[in-house]
Amino acid sequence: MVKVAFIGIGKMGLGMASRLLAAGHDLAVFNRTAAKAEPLVRLGARCAASPREACSGAEAVFSMTADDASSRAVWLGPQGILAANRAPRGFAIECSTLSHDWVLELAREAAARGLRYIDAPVTGLPEDAANGALTLLVGASPDDLRAARDLLSAVSRSVIHFGSVGAGTAYKLIINLIGAVQIASAAEGLALAERAGLDPRVVADAVATSQAASPQVVRNTRRMVDDDHYRNVVFTPALRLKDVDYGLRLAGKLGLGAPFGELAADALRRLCELGLADVNESKVIHIARGRRPR
């Protein structure tokens, strides 16, 4: 049994934290909206009033927040994770999708306080988190990864080691950038099919068995056809746009252009400007349907 803190109990964090409890770990949690942690408290977790309190004496801390700003808020400051009195040589396991620059900065801050930093963004849906079926995209030293394997195995089915700290985040930004382009192009294709008089359901079924299929394309085209953008939201335009912006920032830092990513970002940004930032990202079909040739 390891004394663990989990910071950020959203849709993904709730499932991940529940897997740590199921594995027998001693768990303290923090979330800005404490009510979201109540299911974990009923399972035996302790709900803390601050990240610092949750991490007191912890041997490992997991963080799963929305973006750089929320990550900074929970790690830094007098009530942040790094201000806690933790066990020596503990693990800092950051599972959020963050900018590459902030991950490297945070890793340096953690190392300066004697923590072993594991860069471990995830891929998978909330039900995968609840079932321990996530894939972790890891950047870490081989020794640190080896030492953290049991903890990581509690929340995942697969761990892919991409290299040193920052490599996991680089891959996550790359794959989410690809996903944004796929979803935007699928919306464009479906809008074109509708305009051409094709049956959208037949098109979505055909796409699902075509070479253009991917899990994201299949899932989102079906939701586009059903106009199912408001219930059971999996991933929002706001979060996808955040990931794309971080990916574009990484591309710029590395001296590469990403014109397809920029087009996808433009569609997502327009959707957010219409007040649709928090629906399902499949709503991007709305932008595709309204676009006119120049």
Residues tagged active-site: 172
The per-residue b/e assignment along 102-129, b for 16 or more CB within 10 angstroms, e otherwise, is bbbebbebbeeeebbbbbbbbbbbbebb
C-alpha 12/C-alpha 15 separation (Å) is 6
Q: What is the number of other CB atoms lying within 10 angstroms of the CB of residue 227?
A: 11
The Cα 76–Cα 73 span in angstroms is: 6
Query: Do 145 and 161 contact (CB within 8 A), yes or no?
Result: yes
Give the closest residue to 272 by CA, choosing from 244, 228, 240.
240
Radius of gyration of the chain (CA): 20
Q: Which CA distances in Å does 268 have to 26, 105, 243?
A: 40, 28, 11
β strands within 59-133, DSSP E: 60-63, 91-94, 116-119, 122-123
**Beta-carbon contacts of residue 62 (< 8 Å; ≥ 6 apart):** 4, 5, 6, 7, 13, 16, 17, 20, 93, 95, 155
Pairing status of strand 60-63 against strand 3-7:
parallel
C-alpha–C-alpha distance, residues 29 and 27, integer Å: 7
